[in-house]
Chains A and B, each alone.
Chain A
């Protein structure tokens, strides 16, 4: 009798597990269906790296699997929020793998409620485009490009908010 109880409990638990899994899959599917990504190859991305208007652009290269990128993400969000009225625009360029767009990237954008512009670079031949973004870039992320029509600087490093703010201030007159 005791064994039967156990069996019933195990069966109930395993059913619940399956229900949770299904619910989770459903949520991911919903996020995947309702979140639109802007996906470019390098020639498509170039427009975001070469603007010649009055703004200063802070272009951060990141991915959901890159722990230091995720760690510094709030500083870029904060910068975008506090400085957007002073001519600063943050652009977050995701280098996530295409197979993780629905499972990782879209849920990340939604869960973190990212307000900065997010674009996705899908261009496997990195050796062709890394030097075009900066000759100094070895290819590690996080990496950030800050530029305006007069000045351009590349940073292959992580930032905290103070460091980021002080770099950006050098671009504001």
Chain B
């Protein structure tokens, strides 16, 4: 009888878990997956290629979203400020290009050239990477720090507190977070929210 009860409980748990989403993406402290994605220059890029990096500013972004466009200059500025300090920007385009042709590889190359991207702009071909991170929109930032365990997620969210007007920004979330990591201090705000365009599937 006892075995039957155990069995029933086991079946119940299995059934329940089948209906709950298996993976909601990363939380602070999780180890982020590496990847091997094609860059706009045709090379394949992995986080492991960056032997000297202390971490990464991974940004899911695209050509077509007005919020992503509004942040292009600020993303370039982040890379210029932090790449040499060990935290380069790695941009990943997560949209399905059949649904959003304006984000295909040719368009990505053109946009990167036009906007003067200084960082890799990678295609999440097959859309395998963004769901593991749990990105839902563009732009969506994950700051990773290299640790012995792997690339640990230290910050998730917005770049700053004013999407549409760089000159009216009060709090620079990403800069504050990277500055804290560089100084070995705790990050004050580890998760923030911003409006963005849903990732096109």
Q: Could you tell me which A residues sit within 8 Å of B by CB distance?
A: 63, 65-68, 95, 97-98, 124-128, 130-131, 137-142, 156, 158
Contacts and interface: CB of A to CB of B under 8 A. Distances in A.
A141 B66 contact: no
Given A65-B66, A127-B157, A127-B192, A140 B162 contact: no
Contacts of A125: 161-162, 170
Contacts of B195: 95, 126, 130, 139-141
Interface string B190-201: 001111111110
Contacts of B192: 127
B148 to A, nearest CB: 30
A63 B163 CA distance: 14
Given A127-B157, A130-B193, A97 B66 contact: yes
Nearest to A128: B161
A68 B165 contact: no
Interface residues of B, number: 24
A124 B137 contact: no
A140 B193 CA distance: 9
Given A130-B193, A138-B136, A140-B198, A124 B165 contact: yes
A127 B198 contact: no
B194 A126 contact: yes
Contacts of B164: 97-98, 124
A139 B137 contact: yes
B144 interface: no
Contacts of A127: 157-158, 161, 173, 192-194
Contacts of B193: 126-127, 130-131, 137-139
Contact of A68 (B66, B170, B198): B198
B14 interface: no
Most chain B Cβ neighbours within 10 Å, of A97, A125, A139? A139
16 contacts: A98-B164, A124-B163, A125-B161, A125-B170, A126-B163, A127-B173, A127-B192, A130-B193, A130-B195, A137-B193, A138-B140, A139-B195, A140-B137, A140-B197, A140-B199, A156-B136
B168 interface: yes
Q: Considering the complex of A and B, which 4 residue pairs feature the smallest CB-CB distances, nearest first?
A: A140-B137, A130-B193, A140-B198, A138-B136
Contacts of A138: 136-137, 140, 193
Interface in B88-116: 100
Given A126-B194, A139-B136, 17 more contacts: A63-B66, A66-B197, A68-B198, A68-B200, A95-B195, A97-B164, A124-B163, A124-B164, A126-B163, A126-B195, A127-B193, A128-B161, A130-B193, A138-B193, A139-B195, A140-B136, A158-B198
B168 A124 contact: yes
Interface string B143-175: 000000000000001100111110010100100
